[in-house]
Amino acid sequence: MAVSTNVSFLLSSVLAITTLAASQTFKAQLAETKGMTILGGGVASLFFMFVLTAIGNLEDILMGKGFELQLIPEVAFALTLSMAVAGSIHRVSITCCLIFSLVILYFMNNISQKTHGVPEAAPTKVEKKKRR
């Protein structure tokens, strides 16, 4: 079920703040074992996804439909922010956050291309005429 851009911005912002608050609340538990530090990187990569969605929706609201997220300003900012959140948990969480965030970015791009991309033209079959 799709929601409007305004509602999506609000939801992604609230989820980003909630994820940030949860990661900072459970910082000690996330830094205890190896598995939990990996989970801390996963939580930070979810924060990346929510922040990137919020930024994209905000740009859509302010600059109009059709405005695309760019790699350098928006994605790099969201990735840096999420890696800082992961760094506040544990050093290993930074690396896990980077890997998980790149995987999330890949799948977000695929979904975006399928939803908003320009459809490819169907290949036409070229028939050769026989010479007699």
Burial class (CB in 10 A: 0-12, 13-18, 19+), 31: middle
- Quote the pLDDT of residue 68: 87
- Quote the pLDDT of residue 59: 95
- Quote the pLDDT of residue 132: 67
- Quote the pLDDT of residue 41: 98
pTM: 0.87
- Quote the pLDDT of residue 22: 97
- Quote the pLDDT of residue 2: 87
- Quote the pLDDT of residue 66: 82
For residue 46, give every residue at least 6 positions away whose Cβ sits within 8 Å of its Cβ, in sequence order, or none.
Answer: 19
Tokens found for residue 20: 């940030």
Kindly give the parts of the chain with pLDDT less than 70: 1, 122, 132
- Quote the pLDDT of residue 106: 97
